[in-house]
Chain A
Amino acid sequence: MSRREAVRAAALAAALCCTGASAQDEPLISGPGSTLTENKCKICHELQHIKRAQLSPGEWADNLRNMKERGTPMTDDEMRMIHEYLSVYYNRDKPAPAPSPDTLASGGDDPMQKLLNANACNGCHSIDKRVVGPSFREVAAKYAGDRGAPARLATKIRAGGQGAWGAVPMPPNPALPEAELQRIAAWVLQQK
């Protein structure tokens, strides 16, 4: 089967999109890299997949390569950080250490970053770099001075969609309450 065929299927799959994160899924053990791992690994399935896997570090390396092939949007650097985290906290051969703060998480204790992490936004976005979606700075620059932007962005975050930045769609986020949507939209537009 040609690459184009595969691409067509991916496109179609994307078109029929779905929710990104499931709110009910219990978080991973907190530790350096846990937030990144959650953001990347709960895009397609529950974090339960990780908790029940009981793998060795070598198997985690294979698993991560496989997950990247399956479409996990992660760079090699992120993959390395996730591998380190999983090898410490979800290692079949060694008990996990006590939970500790995620020193690698962007934003640390910042409530907005917590909200973005909890909804897996940071799996596809960052403040200053393009990941799957645009950086929040680019978004703020694009809509600078546009008074209708906060409401439009809030709607877009909830419904998902594509076309503003390219053909790659954003999945809908139906579980986010209106107040939080507005808070996020306002915050995004302040990123300069």
Chain B
Amino acid sequence: MENSKRTDESRRSFLTGVAGAGALAALGEAATLREALAQSAGAPAAPAGTVTNEAIKAAKVPAMQYHSERPITGSVPAHEHDFEFTPTDRVFIRNNLLTPDLDINLHRLTLKGLVDKELTFSVAELQKAFPVVSMAGMLECAGAGRTNYQPRASGTPWGATGGMSCPVWTGVRLKDVLAAAGLKANAAHVAGQGGDPGAVATAAPVIRSIPMSKALDENTLIAWGMNNGPLPKVHGYPLRLVAPGWVGSASTKWLHTLTVLDAPFKGTYMTGSYIVPKWPVKPGEKMPPDTVSTQAWPIKSMITSPAPDQVLKGTERIMVRGKAWVGEGSVGRVDISFDEGATWHRAALERERDKYAWRTFTCEYVPQRFGHLTFLARATDDRGNMQPIAPYWNPLGYFWNGIHRVGVMVVPA
């Protein structure tokens, strides 16, 4: 960002100044702080340089369920995704720290590390320098659906289908930007760093890296648009990475620095979370030493209509509709069961368009009786991986892709 350049000197001088703070080494940045405080003078209610939760919530539908306020997290249930793509007011919110209030005119993106030449772009420069693309793509928190796990795993208690969305993104391809800088032979990972403000100076910056194969995928974007509008502040304004199909944390919000590395970035957001045991552990056990970093989501689906507990009058045709997606590869088929899994019926699946977008499936059913009726959706990817009843338990509750089940009441008309 602009500011980090300007205050380089003062930062360097206090790097030595606060050495006494030792391991906690909390470092402030003089000029920016003064600016932030000046902005807040007279209006101390909102922390300087951040967006209030009230402002964030005002732009979301009332159906959004919040799981915490600080940091703010929230999402809508499955039936609120019953659109071609997730509307902006329904896209899930997941912050690690606070929501920064950045200025699109001052914002800079720097690309550095193992590149032939370091590049810095303003948002306007980025928009002009590379072909602009729009595509729908899945964004899904690694812990989406976490509350389905038994015993409960630690982390944001996303509901059965919470913590994911599929909006349309607009931006430039990361691979084009990397090509402009020129990759060194040993370039292997790209780390994205966002400007999330921490509550204390000691807060570790949010940095995650993705392997070069994903960085060079033509669907991996540096985005500034969501659903043909600007990216809302809580979703990363003015710039964010979008690594569709992969765990959401790979899609760094408020992106200001991309660093090309020869190995995965080592930091708390790489090694302390977003990891799963290399070999499944007994449910309830703690994280073993042997772990792997989370990347692509396994095959998953959900029913978006009818809504749970909907009352349907008469035994008329019911259209069961939903979405299916997979982090890498493609969706092969979706089957629906109307008898708790005893028999399955193949659903019609919309053709594939954007590679990492969900696909809508539909299946008609004529109820044979009154009373409570359930629908189960089960997707299979093109390599034959099928959604399980319940996936392997893991300590941080990641990658829930168990079969989604919705119950309705059928009553006489």
Inter-subunit contact B30/A167 (CB<8 Å): yes
Instruction: Decide: B199 and A44 in contact? CB cutoff 8 A.
Output: yes
Stretch at the interface among B210-218, B266-274, B292-300, B338-346: B266-274
CA of A46 to CA of B98, assembled, Å: 12
Q: Could you tell me if A14 and B29 are in contact, using CB atoms closer than 8 angstroms?
A: yes
Report the minimum CB–CB distance from A151 to chain B (whole Å).
16
5 contacts between A and B (CB under 8 A): A11-B29, A12-B4, A13-B205, A14-B203, A161-B37
Question: A71 near B204 (CB under 8 angstroms)?
Answer: yes
Which of A46, A54, A171 is in CB contact (< 8 Å) with B69?
A46
Q: Is B27 in contact with A167, judged by CB distance below 8 angstroms?
A: yes
Task: Give Cα A52–Cα B151 distance, bound, in whole angstroms.
Answer: 12
Tell me if A167 and B100 are in contact (CB < 8 A). Answer: no
Closest to A171 in B: B199
Are the C-beta atoms of A54 and B152 separated by less than 8 Å?
Answer: yes
> Do most interface residues of chain B lie in helix, strand or loop, or is the interface mixed?
loop
> Does A107 lie at the interface of the complex (its beta carbon under 8 Å from any beta carbon of B)?
no
Main secondary structure of the interface of A (DSSP, over half): loop
Bound: A89/B273 CA distance, A: 24
- Considering the complex, give the chain B residue whose CB is closest to the CB of A13: B198
B200 adjacent to A71 (CB under 8 Å): yes
Inter-chain contact A52/B203, CB cutoff 8 Å: no
B193 touches A1 (CB 8 A): yes
Chain B 45-65, CB-CB to A under 8 Å as 1, else 0, gives: 101111000000000000000
Q: Contact: A7 with B25, CB < 8 Å? A: yes
Is A92 within 8 A of B151, CB to CB?
yes
Q: Does A190 contact B (CB under 8 A)?
A: no
Nearest B residue (CB) for A131: B24
Contact of A168 among B98, B193, B201, B259 (CB under 8 A): B201
Return the chain A residue nearest B15 by Cβ: A7
Q: Does A141 contact B (CB under 8 A)?
A: no
With CB as the reference atom, state the residue of chain B lying closest to A2.
Answer: B259
In the complex, the answer to whether A168 meets B18 with C-beta atoms within 8 Å is yes
Q: Which residues of A contact B4 (CB under 8 A)?
A: 8, 11-12
The interface residues of chain B lying within 8 Å CB-to-CB of A13 are 97, 195-198, 201, 203, 205
- Least distance between A32 CB and chain B CB atoms (Å): 24
- Chain A residues closer than 8 Å to B41, beta-carbon distance: 159
Q: Compute how far the CA of A71 lies from the CA of B68 in the bound complex, rounded to whole angstroms.
A: 20
Please report the C-alpha to C-alpha distance between residue A77 and residue B125 in the assembled complex, in whole angstroms. 51
15 further contact pairs, Cβ within 8 A, besides A18-B48, A167-B30: A1-B191, A9-B195, A9-B207, A17-B36, A63-B154, A70-B204, A70-B268, A71-B198, A73-B24, A73-B202, A132-B26, A166-B14, A167-B28, A167-B29, A168-B18
Report which of B28, B151, B287 forms a contact with A15, defined as CB distance below 8 A. Answer: B28
Q: Quick check: A66 and B268 within 8 Å, CB to CB?
A: yes
Assess the A10–B44 pair: CB atoms within 8 A.
no
Q: Is A16 an interface residue (CB 8 A)?
A: yes
Q: How far is the CA of A159 from the CA of B37 in the complex (A)?
A: 7
Residues of B near A16 (CB, < 8 A) are: 32, 36, 48-50, 98, 100, 195, 197
Contacts of A15 in B (CB 8 A): 3, 28-29, 32-33, 36, 49, 197
Q: Is A97 an interface residue (CB 8 A)?
A: no
Pair count A-B, CB < 8 A: 220
Is the Cβ of A162 less than 8 Å from the Cβ of B28? Answer: yes
Q: A10 to B47, Cβ gap below 8 A?
A: no
Contact yes or no, B152 A1, CB < 8 A: no
Chain A residues with CB below 8 A from B71, complex form: 44-45
Nearest first, the 9 A-B pairs at minimum CB distance are: A9-B205, A18-B47, A14-B201, A16-B197, A167-B14, A71-B202, A16-B49, A15-B32, A174-B44
* A163 close to chain B: CB less than 8 A: yes
CB-CB < 8 A to A166: which residues of B?
14, 17-18, 21
Tell me if B40 counts as interface (CB < 8 A to partner A).
Answer: yes
Instruction: List CB contacts (< 8 Å) of A1-43 with chain B.
Output: 1, 4-20, 22, 43
Residues of A within 8 A of B28 (CB): 11, 14-15, 162, 167-169
Q: Give bound CA distance, A55 to B14, whole Å.
A: 39
A180 CB within 8 Å of chain B:
no
Q: In the bound complex, do residue A172 and residue B18 qualify as a contact, i.e. CB atoms below 8 Å apart?
A: no
Does B371 have its Cβ within 8 Å of any Cβ on chain A?
A: no
Q: Which residues of A contact B205 (CB under 8 A)?
A: 6, 9-10, 12-13
* Contact residues, A145-192 vs B (CB, 8 A): 158-163, 166-169, 171-172, 174
Which residues on the B side are within 8 Å of A103 (C-beta)? none
**Whose C-beta in chain A lies nearest to the C-beta of B267?**
A6
